[in-house]
Amino acid sequence: MAHTDAERAAIIDIFAKNPDISYIELLGELRTRFAYTRTYGGLYRYITKNHLRPAPVQHTEKYDPQPYDTPEMLGVKMQMDVKYVPRECNKGKFADEWEYQYTMIDEATRERFLYPYQEKSSYSTVDFVKRAIVFFGYIPQTIQTDNGTEFTYNQVVSRNKVHPLDALLNRLHIKHQLIQAYTPRHNGKVERSHRTDSEQFYKTLTFKTHEELKEKMAEWVSRYNNRPHSALRDANGKRTWQTPQQKRDELIEFLRGDADAPRVRFIKLKK
């Protein structure tokens, strides 16, 4: 049975006097004041179908991306992340098991280090950071990550326990910078490099063993670091189309020739 004109007028009157009233409160008002006998579902459907309540105004702020302050010197800041290796690339006996690619990228040079693991965990993360430092040959001031459990504990756990990654970074005097939750764009350089991996590495990759994946990933790292990169710029902010390796060599040469150059913590490997 359709709503009567009197019922419609009562609903409109209550909305006019109390526009923020909830539907359950509205139903109570109608029943106590106007002897309304219809169900909650019938009331809701009638209001929405006949547009008796205007949609609330959405006061959402337009996202205005702020300029990102990319370091000009190597060793200032690195971004770290982990991604799944596409399962379809695995043609081996254990093709149903996941493989994970850990990635570290220096923001200034875009030089990258990748290494595969068979688990995504704090243990893998700590091992990867050690390998990355050896690969780059210097210790960064800051490593930026997302809020994954392989990188950090939640606030409740962190009050009583130090994450293994933080324990390592504290020992090496490296700042661990966490991006805001659910904002992967803040780790944009490493995220963009992962897209390149998908388009130019994994698209044709096949492997049968974890060791084979290691070898092919190492070859891809060398290829990536020795090809021109469009995002690299010179001191005047112009595109240079250098390779990450060329940019690295350029900055190291600058460090050698300028006494006032920023300090970079190079490591000395045991022979």
Question: Looking at residue 181, what is its pLDDT?
Answer: 73
Q: Which residue has the tokens 């900055």?
A: 251
Question: Looking at residue 240, what is its pLDDT?
Answer: 81
CA dihedral (186, 192, 195, 200) in degrees, to 10, reads -160
For 228-236, which contacts have Cβ atoms below 8 Å and span 24 or more sequence positions? 229/110, 231/110, 232/109, 232/110, 235/72
Question: Looking at residue 238, what is its pLDDT?
Answer: 82
Give tens-digit pLDDT for 227-261: 998 888 877 778 888 999 999 999 999 898 877 77
63/35: higher pLDDT: 35
Q: What is the mean pLDDT of residues 170-191?
A: 86
pTM of structure: 0.73
Report the first-to-last Cα separation within the chain, whole angstroms.
90
Q: Under CATH, domain 77-266 is a member of which superfamily?
A: Ribonuclease H-like superfamily/Ribonuclease H (3.30.420.10)
In whole angstroms, give the CA distance from residue 108 to residue 124: 25
Task: Residue count of the chain, please give it.
Answer: 271
The widest CA-to-CA distance across the chain, in whole angstroms, is 92
Give tens-digit pLDDT for 146-178: 999 999 987 656 567 899 999 999 999 999 999
User: What does pLDDT average to over the chain?
Assistant: 88
| φ, ψ of residue 246 in degrees (nearest 5) | -65, -40
Lowest mean pLDDT among 84-93, 184-193, 243-252: 184-193
Give tens-digit pLDDT for 114-154: 999 999 999 999 999 999 999 999 999 999 999 999 999 87
Which tokens in the block code for residue 222? 């060398």
**Mode of pairing for the β-strands spanning 77-84 and 142-145:** parallel
In whole angstroms, give the CA distance from residue 156 to residue 163: 12
CATH 3.30.420.10 spans which residues of the chain? Answer: 77-266
